[in-house]
Structure 1
Amino acid sequence: MADLTGQPYLPADRDIADGKRVIVRIERGLNDAALDDAPDVPPRPLDELEPLVAGAARLRDEGLYGAAANDADRLLVELQAHVATGRGDHRRAAADLVTHAAYNAFVVATTYGYLHLAQHAAQRAWEAAILTEDPELVAFAMFARAPAIARNGGRGRAKRLLDRAISEARPLTAIRDGATRGAETFGLLNLMRAHLAARAEDADTAHAHLEAASDVAVRTGERNGFGQHFGPTNVQLWRVSIGVELGQGPDIAERFEREPIDLSALDSRDRTAALHFDLARAYAQADGARDAETVRHLDLADRMAPQRIRQDPIAHDIVTSLLRRARRRAWELDSLRNRFGLA
């Protein structure tokens, strides 16, 4: 992957350089402790660590990926110390928090292009989820584990893992007393499976899983049980992304222009940036005929979540293609070139 994309990239600006300093903290947090082995250092109580895990998730949702992992080393080590030394409910509660903290590390490492570290974090999240004996959390952890494996050359295995996880999560879709987390995880797994199928140009499988997620979303409504904003709105965003993966970019983008997605239900800079980035990718598939729209949406995505977009190899490729096709200088494109560090 590094040979193909050049990742991880040299930082294009000071903010990204500052953000990438957290990578060594994630490495330390995952390598200086384990679920059955931790340093002989007294950790802070779980009720002090829990709000730090939740705060990191909020920062990530706001597009502040570096800040979201700023304390990753101490947080992961201390939480794993609780798991290694705890018993019963205390141990399960600590393992729950490790799952979320390691998931956060997975997202940040993926954002900055450290894909093997991201897989390490996703694996730790899954191992911790197993210790909780909570099938909903185990299913959620697979939402990270499978794509991490796929990004490192294991697409076939990732699909098999997701197929098994979806089958095992089917009983979780029952909604009782307004509890929807199980149904949300089932929907998320189907969305991920649809995305992997689309990347393999398997349109039938992609649409089947997308519709399965859509059916569940109608029943759950707009939810955020695992910080993923699952619901009808987010399924629409995934529908755009999957359409782009299937090469239907211009048609998908034009449909969005006719029927805009109301993003107010999400209140997420991360997901909003993802939509604009997918729309930029969609218009880029028009082979130069819609480059103005490509620039507009890429600019919007970058302004929402620059640490994410400027580290994405597809975004780099789009900017390079736009520069190559441009017949005249345009300040909007020059601005993107400078922001991406493409002299």
Structure 2
Amino acid sequence: MAEDFTGARVRYWRLKRGLSQRTLAGLAGMTQGYVSQIEAGLKEIDKRSTLIRLAGALQVSVSELVDLPGPESPELNAAEATVPAIRAALNVARLHEAVEPRRTLAEVSAVVAGLAPTWKAARYDQLSLLMPELLTDLHGLATTGDEQTQRAALRLLVEAMHCATSTLRHLSCGDLAMIAADLGHAAAVELDEPVWRGVADYVRLVTLPAESKPITRRLAVEAADRLADGPESSEALQVAGMLHLSAAFSAATAEDAPETATHLSEARRLAERTGEGGFATMQFGPTNVAFWETSIAVATGEGGRVREIARRVEPDRIDSDTRKAAYFIDYGRGLAQTRRNDAEAVASFIRAERTAPQRTRRSPAARESVGTMLRRAQANAGGNQLRELASRIGVA
């Protein structure tokens, strides 16, 4: 498409399906005027539930509407070049191929221990280079070593697949991310340790497509209940908290406000007990709960609430640049939804970009909001900062 933004894709699929704007609006439960504004790129699809209804009416997946290509850069080009090798390594594990690890358990453990800081910095170019050999070695150790080696390798495999899943999602490889999540989940089930099973449950949940949110909600509740039945520890409470946050987001997408509030309340209660945690690079704690509240406000079209939430947020309490950047993106999106705070929204997107450049420039949500602000601005009235930001993140 000459212009690639969500509204342009809505128009493309509407015409391909032979639908008028009026017919599409009726199928999706909205007004024709709203569809017209979306297609013109003058208004974002503010609610996640609306996006899902539009995709359903057009008979496409949500990803076909929102997974927009990012800007070219040497770092991201290098990361994308590793995807075939990552796919091959995942297939080796998925098909249970026999392989001999090239490195010892101690050597592989050191590599996995070094993933966290690189992951927190959102350096997908560096992470993706490590993945093919690491995943192959872990598969080999988990299937050929003695029992102690195998169990240690399974734990490391859950961690590594968590990292691989996140990296692949941000490289727009959603199907491979789901394969990685499923492999991590299988390793956790075999390991049979409740906390690591909970981590793998959470990782699998975040890879499910938007259309699967009812399933996500059910699986998140089941996983949290399993943890509640097991031994209590700080790690278990952190994982349970993340599962409740996932359930809250899924409930919000389904426009179930009471259930959203219930899961958020439980996550806050757990966060009060754990404080700021860092287990399994999840960063669960009071700050991350507020980050998720911001995401939920944006997903439900209540962008005006992000200022209120921000009053109790100190982003630097989170030891993860990628997580902070995600919050700044959501804060900017919330302000952009109000259509009254574009200058402050731009400042938040720039802050996200400075915090984690690759994370921000690979964010379809950031590009969509910035593009919408740019298109609705008066000619040459968008301001240099907005135009320069739009160019850097690949918005025409």
Length-normalised TM-score, structure 2:
0.80
Offset at residue 92 of structure 1 (A)? 1.0
| 8 Å contact from structure 2 (residues 92, 136) kept in 1 | yes
Work out the CA distance in 2 between the residues paired with 1:38 and 1:181. 33
Q: How far 1:63 moved relative to its partner?
A: 1.8
- Give 1:254 shift: 4.1
1:337 aligns with 2:390: yes
The structural deviation recorded for 1:55 is: 1.2
Matched ranges for 1:38-77 at <5 A? 38-39=98-99, 41-77=100-136
Question: CA-to-partner distance for each residue in 1:74-97, whole Å, 9 max, x for gaps?
Answer: 000011001111242221111111
Other-structure match for 2:182: 123
Residue in 2 aligned with 1:29?
Answer: 89
Alignment check: 8 A CA contact 2:214 2:250 kept? no
Select the residue among 210, 217, 220 that pairs with 2:264. 210
Q: Distance in 2 between matches of 1:88 and 1:35?
A: 21
Deviation at 1:42, TM superposition (A): 3.9
Task: Give 2:31's aligned residue.
Answer: none
Distance 2:108 2:121 in 1: 20
Look up the match of 1:171. Answer: 229
Partner of 2:137: 78
Mapped pair 1:271 → 2:331:
no
For 1:280, the aligned partner's letter is G
Three-state SS of the structure 1 residue aligned to 2:277 is: coil
Conserved? CA contact 2:244–2:266, under 8 Å: yes
Give the C-alpha shift of residue 26 in structure 1: 2.0
Unaligned runs of 5+ in 1: none
1:297 partnered with 2:348: yes
Structure 1 residue matching 2:279: 3-state secondary structure:
coil
Quote the residue 1:198 is aligned against.
252
Cα distance in structure 1, aligned partners of 2:172 and 2:301: 24
Asked if the contact 2:101/2:136 (under 8 Å) is kept, the reply is no
Question: Runs in 1 of length 4+ with deviation above 6 angstroms?
Answer: none
TM alignment of 1:78-227, pairs within 5 A: 78-151=137-210, 153-172=211-230, 174-175=232-233, 180-227=234-281
Letter in 1 for 2:64: D
CA distance in 2, matches of 1:255, 1:167: 28
Kept in 1: contact 2:268–2:289 (CA 8 A): yes
Q: Tell me which amino acid in the other structure corresponds to 2:346.
A: V
Do residues 237 (structure 1) and 291 (structure 2) align?
A: yes
The answer to whether residue 81 in structure 2 is matched with residue 5 in structure 1 is no
SS of equivalent residue, structure 2 residue 135: helix
Task: Measure the CA separation in 2 of the matches of 1:100 and 1:171.
Answer: 23
Amino acid at match of 2:326: A
- CA shift for structure 1 position 129: 0.9
1:186 maps to a residue whose letter is A
Query: 1:325 aligned to 2:376?
Result: yes
Q: Helix, strand or coil for the counterpart of 1:334?
A: helix
Check 1:338–1:275 CA distance in 2 against 1; reply closer, same or farther (3 A cut).
Answer: same
In our comparison, the structure showing a higher alpha carbon Rg is 2
TM-score w.r.t. structure 1 length?
0.91
Note the alpha carbon deviations across 1:114-169, whole angstroms, 9 max, x for none: 11111111111101111211110001111111121234x42222222112112111
Q: Distance in 2 between matches of 1:229 and 1:3?
A: 30
2:282 to 225, 228, 236: 228
The one-letter code sitting in structure 1 at the alignment partner of 2:82 is V
2:366 matched to 1:307? no
Cross-structure match for 2:75: 15
Cα RMSD after superposing both structures: 1.8
Separation (CA, whole Å) in 1 of partners of 2:307 and 2:84:
39
> Do the aligned partners of residues 96 and 209 (structure 1) sit closer, same or farther apart at CA in structure 2, a change above 3 Å counting?
same
- Look up the match of 2:19: none
- CA shift at 1:206, angstroms? 1.2
Q: Tell me, in whole angstroms, the C-alpha distance in 2 between the residues paired with 1:6 and 1:98.
A: 28
Indicate if the aligned counterparts of 2:217 and 2:246 stay in contact, CA closer than 8 A.
no
**For each residue in 1:248-297, what CA deviation from the matched residue of structure 2 results, as whole angstroms up to 9, or x when unmatched?**
211222441xx2522333221111101101101110110x2111111111
Aligned equivalents of 1:90, 1:255: Cα separation in 2? 46
Deviation digits for residues 29-48 of structure 1, max 9, x if unmatched? 21133484332x34311111
Structure 2 distance, partners of 1:226, 1:68, is 16
| SS of corresponding position for 1:226 | helix
Change (3 A) 1:296 1:90: same
Percentage identity across aligned positions? Answer: 31
CA-to-partner distance for each residue in 1:173-207, whole Å, 9 max, x for gaps?
734xxxx1111111110011111111222221111
Any stretches of 5+ residues in structure 2 without a counterpart? 1-61
TM-aligned CA deviation for residue 2 of structure 1 = 4.7
AA at the equivalent of 1:4: L
- Tell me if structure 1 keeps the 8 A contact 2:67–2:172: no
**What amino acid is aligned across from residue 80 of structure 1 in structure 2?**
H
The more displaced of 51-60 and 206-215 is 51-60
1:255 to 1:167, Cα distance in 2 relative to 1, 3 A: closer
CA distance in 1, matches of 2:218, 2:279: 25
Please name the residue that 2:307 is paired with: 253
Which one is further off, 291-300 or 23-32?
Answer: 23-32
